[in-house]
Structure 1
């Protein structure tokens, strides 16, 4: 038997209510007060500052963003409620009230997300999210039920016809000078009637405030004398084309010069009024965009400064790591020589009978261990500095973007590591790989690092099986590199792409930069890399790369507009 919409809605709400009851009942309680205490208890949960490696800036970005979202979500219901009070005839009030409740609950969850940095009340947050889910589903159900009535509203064509009818009425009303003057006087933006010669015929109060002149002063002026000299020719050219009938009107960004000499940035819209085919006058509408221009200029400046600081930081890292290697090379060289000299000295002294047991222990055990420790750590530091140099160079590397034959590329990469794969007896399975766009060298480096990781972190209990497959997702290709190796514990998965982070530094050699470089390469190519892994079972690395060149072109254009470095990308 088919169910009605009300029956489906009731069942949905009933199920969500049961989930809420299960959530609350999962908390061990004896009394309502105990339930309340347990609900707000933070036992077993650390403050979010203690979860992961938060920088102060990173944490406060989350906190302030959640607070800002909460504030906005709190403001929206008050606006809706005020609207309902002012317009009691508003239809679907129940739906509006549900929206108010839904938005307020969403805001509350964001506020709790910010508070959890100090007050980890995850139980209470979970309850609030569950309540939000219930209200959300109820809102969706009400919204679906309201769709039929909304569909009955006038169509776009009907609205367009109504707009055209009203526009025609407004043109007729414009013939009445008194009504037109009233509309002009109270307009929220600058408006003026301008003669064919450019003289102001009628101006409103807003335009007078914008330009700093009285109405009488403006009526003695023409727009040519108030226009910035650099914008005048473009304005006059559009004016001539309008008079010639090539265009009906025009819009342009234009600067005016106020009476006090200050510059006003505005958006100008001009329409020519004709009567019986003959031009009569212009109607000009002027919107002040000075504040918006200042904000845009400030944004561009901040983006430029950020790009410059990024370049400075890359240069500092490069110089520091490069210069640190010079004394390190000397340490490695002299420690090697010292080790050789110590060995010769050891041989000669041990032949002597004048050494006691303690001296012999120092010569035979302690000194070789200390020299080996110095040499090993110096070589380790040298490897880290070389990795840091590679990482910093990638920030200044010019990407050569081209279409990449991934079947060919992976074939070449697997051929290059065939010795290592054969040595561990690995089995390799490769599916059909769609092409993508990117830098062939760096995409090759990305997949080489993933294959090397699979070999390094293979399980000693089973034969390594390496699988590479792909699928398309919109404008991207998703490549998956899977292995049946050691796997990664979930608590470490968020950190594996961090610089210098290594899972088993005592068991596997490396500089801790392989996956960091993979992440940087993917992001520079407008892609992404992620992982899902199960400890003791294996790992799946997912690499998303664009299959549409325009995606990378947009990034290249954005970087070029935001900085003076235009050579980060080249295209074949």
Structure 2
């Protein structure tokens, strides 16, 4: 019986589709039931209006997706076009049935419309998570406003930065000019003081002491002006390096002997002879500044250890003292221009240029400089330079840009 029933259904389907346009079993809708003219035409006109709208909407959607190819989810638009067209067609057929009772054709169109509708629902469900991530017009406007504000702030920062650079350039030019102009009278003053000192050897000891103090203060002022002059030249790129091969051990031993006094003790720990290519005067200046710094912040009769080591393809020089040390909050600033480490227990002279000059010179040589310190236990200032074995180079001049 089940097979016969199935054959019956298949037969019905075959008969259905073979006579899909047949109307012989149904009367026109005007003759089915009791329709007044008003009721019938109200029904027909309503269906026709719905069909007209359902036809126009897909047309507009088609125009939209063909003109704007950047719209998201184009497949969804095509599904909506098919779904709306089929829904409109069901309303058109419903109106036509008043004269042409094509109920079989109407059923097929309704079924196809139902299938397409379900596919459209599924497709919409799949894209909902993505749609929920879209920003609203208000959010986009707020973002645009934030970007405009950020761009304006960036523009102001650029202007302020340019102004700061210009002020820094003017200041460096002034320092360069002022220090240059001050060097000549200071040299004359030192000369006059030396002459007075020589002539007053047998004079009142108090006068000799005052002259000595004046000479020492003049020497400090000269060193300060030289530092300012060197810093301004570095900033303006007017100090090229004059590199040559030097024996680093000899230079270090020479400086250790110069700094060794009754109250100052320098210990040297060095590897075998080290020959490097550097600007001798500049590296000597670095070592002098670091040694002077080590003794300045150490107690009298203290020892400073100067070490030289080969580390792979670099030479590492370190100066260790057992002085006051530097706090963690200050150590990151010690190589900045005009920065001075303030100690509550004592006040030390200086403008905060020595370590800055050291850092600039080491950077010019392609090296690195750093410090390790513990408050109350001392510091280790170190720098590393590229190691180049003996090459018998004659003296060459390098600009800071090439180093």
TM-score (norm: length of structure 1): 0.31
- Larger Rg: 1 or 2? 2
TM-score (norm: length of structure 2): 0.42
Q: Which has the higher contact order (CA 8 A, sep 6+)?
A: 2
